Amino acid sequence: MKLMEMMKDEDLGIALLYNFTKGYGKPVPMELYDIVLPILYIDDICENILKYDTLHQCIDECLSKNLAIKDEFFENLEKYESVTSNALAISMIQKHLVFNVVDNIMCGQALPSNILDLNEAKLLGQLMQDITKKDVLEYFDKTTMNIVVLQTDTLGKDMDLSELKKLGSVKMYPVALQDDVVDLIKDADIVVTNKNVLFEEQLKGLNKLKLICLTATGYNNVDIDYCKEHHIQVRNVKGYSTDTVAQHTIAIAMHLIEKNHLYDEFVKSRKYEKSGVFSYFNYYFHDVSSMTWGIVGLGDIGRKVAQIATTMGANVQYYSTSGLNSTSDYKQVDFETLLKTSDIISIHAPLNEKTKFLFNFNSMSQMKKHSYLINVGRGSIIKEKDLVELLNLGHFDGVGLDVFEKEPLDENSVLYKIKDQSKVILTPHVAWGSIEARKRLINEVYLNIQSFINGEERNIVNK
């Protein structure tokens, strides 16, 4: 359309309809004129029509890449109806086209004219010589997937989700309260969600639902067995946040170990200038190279943290919660040994029956009194009530949590009862979410949905 952008709608309509008629090469049934502008005013089709041998192939290929053009076409039918009528009338008055009855059908024919040649319109005429208006309407009438995206705010307001509109009719909800979920997804073919619970109670009766697409790796918030039984695919995303979560883990560890926040406050409060001392060491910190770093869960993220910790000189050991991960790169120990011998423990495990409240009063009390505990896995791996009790008894030099038993925290969270808040750092489940990681995630979701529509297997968790 770039060649035509400077032309007024009516002038452009005249040129397109004339060239279409010229390309058609014989009398054009009046009904065909109704769909010329609706087709050629779709940029995707106009830019690609010269590449195809049939109109059906062109439309099908364009729809496979951008389902939104279906809606655009049907909107154009109404939008450009008057433009078409006016353009045809002017074309007749200016003697570009002549209209006659042929076989009891009013038809248009092209007269000699100096109107600019528009190859896209001429080719459309050629491709439609044996096609009816009904045929074209059927070409465009591909079944559109109704896609409902819950909790878009959890992906960040700086993320662009508009690409999903190429895959179907999309409704987005920035916040989705659990009590509202059933009503929000009742007409959905595809649901995109993060933390909303989708168990049998929410899913029963949703006969249209075909796919649950998670904006996360974990899927403990979905009833996998129910979905498998009722032929609802569940797809997740993997690998998008490995570097990001590992980076956040190291950042939390350094925050706790170095105690820079306390030294920063000492200087900014002007206590340093009044102290009369060159260096102030009221808060001790350690060389990481002198410490043993224990890792719970040696998946991709756990391995990345182990790699960085090793580079920093730490003695790395790990405990596999599943018992499936083993490597000679790092020392594998049982859980009790990990607790008793680690100076730092970082958690990178999924939440399941084996890991729920794995860190409770009994297990955490076995850790070194001056150790550090970091959780970037799942909140309920640590029993928060027990953690707070131990912290208030003087256990731990530092605790970092990016995940919690309930997210977001409620006003009565036990974590607000920690007496010495300088010993803890709490971040709102952001370890996974650098801007690059969130862009990767959205692209993965797009590819999961696109491959589902195309009948391809990708990241299915309930085969």
Write out the catalytic residue numbers: 378, 407, 429
CB count in 10 Å sphere of residue 405: 19
Query: DSSP letter string over 158-218?
Result: T---GGGGGSEEEEEES---GGGHHHHHTT-SEEEESS--B-HHHHTT-TT--EEEESSS-
Amino acid at 324: L
Calculate the CA 78 to chain-centre distance. 34
Contact by Cβ (8 Å): 296, 345:
yes
Phi, psi of 308 (to 5 degrees): -65, -45
Question: Parallel, antiparallel, or unpaired for β 145-150 and 315-319?
Answer: unpaired
193, β-bridge pairs: 214
Positive or negative CA dihedral for 78, 80, 86, 89?
negative
Amino acid at 253: A
Q: CA-CA distance, 197 to 222, in Å (whole number)? A: 6
Distances (CA, A) of 128 to 5, 42, 98, 111: 25, 17, 19, 19
Q: CA-CA distance, 378 to 403, in Å (whole number)? A: 6
Question: Parallel, antiparallel, or unpaired for β 105-110 and 28-29?
Answer: antiparallel
Helix then strand then coil, in percent of the chain rounded to 5, is 45, 15, 40
